Chain A
Amino acid sequence: MITLGDYLLVSGILFSIGFAGVMLRRNLIIILMSLELMLNAANLSLVAFSRFRVDPGGLPNYNAQVFVFFIVTVAAAEVAVGLAILVALFRVRQTTDVKDISSLKF
């Protein structure tokens, strides 16, 4: 049988993949995609806990699913703003490589 731990394991590995993407890649678009992977890994463990903690009425705990709804909304807004910044940057610098955008670096 599938246990809660299996879902948490998948969620943790997915989060680590996204984290490795943010650390390794230098392309801003890929970094944004990896951020999405990390947010979705968090969503998966929220939904798993929601299903695990059944109410006395026999329904899953819907609070976590409302959380997931909010996370999805905020993530969509974040992607839109991030990509708009990327396009504005590309217009000025002709690059999406984070190594070329270090003028604020001390």
Chain B
Amino acid sequence: MSPFLFWVFALMTLTFGAAVVVNRNPVASALSLVVSFLGLAALFMSLDAFFVGIIQVLVYAGAVMVLFLFIVMLINLQTEERRQINWFAVVGGIGVALILVVQICFVIGHFRAARQTFPPLVRSTTDDVWNIGALLFRDYNLPFQIVGVLVLVATIGVVLLSKRAPR
């Protein structure tokens, strides 16, 4: 991927990610999150991870975002009243986040491998999905089954949580 496209998508991801935090309206936040995830999916594709990029679009920009928007519109939060801003929390939160960024920059600056470009790939005879699927069903079969159980438990839990308590 050309450096220009990389920076375009990286800026898109970061700008709309910041918009999620800054926006007052939850609907605008959710829509910014969609754009941010699309930029992230493009970055995944630029790393030749096509399967991951596609599930990013399908699961996040599709399913999770619909869930968020549905809930935001269900509980109708349009009028989030302006409370007084707690300046201590704002300055503290931004300060801690900035310290984290500085630390990460410092670590990356001292990480020798970080200055290397990506090695070229050999053209594979099998596609991305096949390779990941083979690994998933061979080496990671047990974790895969456990994730299945987790999703089942989450489904049952959500149904129980959203049921009204019997009177």
B103 smallest CB distance to A (angstroms): 9
B residues less than 8 Å from A6 (CB atoms): 6, 10
Contact A68 B52 (CB under 8 A): yes
A79 touches B3 (CB 8 A): no
Q: Quick one: which of A1-52 are within 8 Å of B by CB?
A: 1-10, 12-21, 23-25, 27, 29-30, 32-34, 36-37, 40, 43-44, 47-48, 50-52
Is the Cβ of B20 less than 8 Å from the Cβ of A23? no
Interface size on A, residues (CB 8 A): 70
Considering the complex, give the chain B residue whose CB is closest to the CB of A26. Answer: B83
Q: Report whether B14 and A90 are in contact in the complex, using a CB–CB cutoff of 8 Å.
A: no
> Which DSSP category, helix, strand, loop or mixed, fits chain B's interface?
helix
Cα A19 to Cα B71 with chains together (Å): 22
Number of A-B contacts (CB under 8 A): 229
CB-CB < 8 A to A68: which residues of B? 49, 52
Give the complex CA separation of A88 and B71 in angstroms. 11
Chain A at the B interface: mostly helix, strand, loop or mixed? helix
* A17 and B89 contacting across the interface, CB-CB below 8 Å: no
Residue positions of B touching A, CB distance < 8 A: 1, 3, 6, 10, 13-14, 17-18, 20-21, 26, 29-30, 33, 36-37, 40, 43-44, 47-49, 51-52, 55-56, 59-60, 63-64, 67-68, 71-72, 74-75, 77, 80, 83, 89-90, 92-94, 96-98, 100-101, 104-105, 108-109, 111, 113-122, 124, 131-132, 135-136, 139-140, 143, 147, 150-151, 154-155, 157-158, 161-162
Q: List 18 other contacts, CB 8 Å, given A32-B68, A33-B29, A36-B64.
A: A2-B117, A4-B115, A8-B114, A12-B100, A12-B101, A13-B104, A20-B21, A23-B97, A24-B89, A24-B90, A24-B94, A40-B60, A43-B52, A51-B48, A59-B131, A72-B56, A83-B68, A84-B157
